[in-house]
Amino acid sequence: MIPKDDVPTKSSEQPHILCKPVYVFSSRVPSDPVLHQVIHAGFQAPYPYPEPVLPNLRRFFVFRTGTPSCDTLEEVLKRAIETTRDELISFFGWRAYTPEGPGNYIQMLKNFETTGISSFKSAPIIIIITEERRFPPVEQESLAFAVSHLWISATFHHLGVHLIPGISYLSRRSEFFSLIHLPAGKYAVAGVAIGYPHEELQENTESPAGEPEVYWFF
């Protein structure tokens, strides 16, 4: 039993940073110093390796949407998504569209071909994070640490963030690594869209927050 003095107040009464995804952004562009602070938080995230690692395993690439380099990035990502979609259809065959198959996910990937990727239209900034693969293979967990630290810092600076769908597929595209001047095949990839939330429109997209399902073992 938890002693009375140790019983916390309700989570709604605690001061904390709530990192909700933001999908609707204002036209205001974050300044370079603010973005640098946010990126530095991601850079300082811990590595889940059993021994110290070199700090340059993790790199950050900042793209301004609407620029030629960002347009190229979106086209490369769309091709990566298209390849993944075709691979899923080939692997699952008719089972892809059964209730247990990935039919809904495949349809979402198809939609990107016709509508584009909304992150590149709504957000002013795209941040791509790469991490060099090594053993043990925990680079995705490591990138998750980096994204979470970056996200908390962004929220502290009143910025909104959301994950970019399919971004990890870039790790298989040589043209992506040509774009960022890194050797292909050595890096895992994560990425976020970031900017200042559009206050009026974002209010209509928020969903009520629930409570975590927690089991205590003592």
Higher pLDDT, 163 or 136: 163
Residue 148, Cα to own-chain centre: how many angstroms?
9
52 domain residue, yes or no: yes
Tell me whether strands 160-163 and 125-132 are parallel, antiparallel or unpaired: unpaired
CATH of the domain at 176: 3.40.109.10
1 domain residue, yes or no: no
7 domain residue, yes or no: no
210 domain residue, yes or no: no
Higher pLDDT, 96 or 152: 152
Q: Which residues, in sequence order, are CB contacts of 73 under 8 Å at separation 6+?
A: 63, 120, 126, 128, 176, 179
pLDDT band at 103 (very low <50, low <70, confident <90, very high): confident
- On the question of a cis peptide bond just before residue 136, with omega within 30 degrees of 0, the verdict is yes
- The domain in which residue 136 lies consists of 20-67+116-203
Region 26-44: what's the mean pLDDT? Answer: 94
139 domain residue, yes or no: yes
Q: What does pLDDT average to over the chain?
A: 85
Most confident range (mean pLDDT) of 65-74, 130-139, 195-204 is 65-74
Q: Which residues, in sequence order, are CB contacts of 163 under 8 Å at separation 6+?
A: 21, 147, 190, 191, 192
218 domain residue, yes or no: no
Q: How far is CA 89 from CA 104, 132, 193, in A?
A: 12, 30, 28
The pTM (predicted TM-score) of the whole model is 0.84
pLDDT band at 94 (very low <50, low <70, confident <90, very high): confident
2 domain residue, yes or no: no
Q: What is the pLDDT of residue 3?
A: 46
Lowest-pLDDT range of 8-12, 93-97, 181-185: 8-12
Q: How many residues are given for the chain? A: 218
Region 72-89: what's the mean pLDDT? Answer: 91
The torsion angle over the Cα atoms of residues 8, 10, 16 and 22, rounded to 10 degrees, is: 150
Q: What is the number of structural domains in the chain?
A: 1
Dist CA 190 CA 181 (whole Å) = 17
pLDDT, tens only, 177-197? 999 999 998 999 999 999 999
162 domain residue, yes or no: yes
